[in-house]
Amino acid sequence: MNRSLTTSHGMVLIREANPSDATRYRQLRLEALLDSPTAFSADYHLNLSHPMSFWEGRLTSDEHGIMFLAAHENNLIAMTGIRRGEWPKTNHGAFVWGVYVSPAWRGLHIAASLTENCRAWAREHNVVILKLGVMANNESAIRCYERCGFTVYGTEPRALFYEGKYYDEFLMYCSLDGS
């Protein structure tokens, strides 16, 4: 599921992650948590203390999920994950999570390419519905997901509390079976 994307900043490779990416993935994830603290429910300080085995484990693919990374000249610049339901009654659906693009690389359709990799993985695994959550104030991400075929189906009020303020989250879905 590797794909190349030509951007104004150079060629970007979208690829499956593997445990050998753990050190660079950790760095990118911590960057994401510092840069966009209201975009993720995870906390920077808690993640900072995780052992390397934690990061390696997050990059181990199985039939229930996978991480995709975007790299430019061997530097990780973006990421996302997808995780499908693990039970017979829920494995028809999957959740796209952890989408992040480094600031210098935003606006170049990298998030859309990562999302397309998630869609392709989902189709290969007989997933019929993709879901994701996005902060209601993140207009550029919402537009990206809408261009990728996602539709808002609800709002989780006060989904996140950060530095004394509540943030609502839009819940979005994309049907992969045409229904």
Whether 1 has a pLDDT exceeding 80, the answer reads: no
More confident residue, 163 or 63: 163
* pLDDT for 8: 87
Cβ atoms of residues 139 and 39 within 8 Å: no
pTM: 0.93
How far are the Cα atoms of 118, 159, 161 from residue 169, in angstroms, in the given order? 21, 6, 11
CA 84, CA 65: separation in Å to the nearest integer? 6
* pLDDT for 4: 87
Q: What's the pLDDT band for 79 if we cut at 50, 70, 90?
A: very high
How much of the chain exceeds pLDDT 70, in percent?
100
How far are the Cα atoms of 19, 20, 79, 97, 157 from residue 129, in angstroms, in the given order? 28, 30, 21, 14, 23
Whether 179 has a pLDDT exceeding 80, the answer reads: no
* pLDDT for 149: 96
Q: What is the mean pLDDT of residues 89-93?
A: 95
Q: What's the pLDDT band for 109 if we cut at 50, 70, 90?
A: very high
* pLDDT for 60: 86
Residue-wise pLDDT tens digits, 112-149: 999 999 999 999 999 999 999 999 999 999 999 999 99
* pLDDT for 82: 97
- Rounded to the nearest integer, the mean pLDDT of the chain is 95
* pLDDT for 141: 96
Whether 74 has a pLDDT exceeding 90, the answer reads: no
Q: What's the pLDDT band for 86 if we cut at 50, 70, 90?
A: very high
Show the domains of the chain with their CATH numbers.
Answer: 3-128 (3.40.630.30)
CA 2, CA 121: separation in Å to the nearest integer? 11
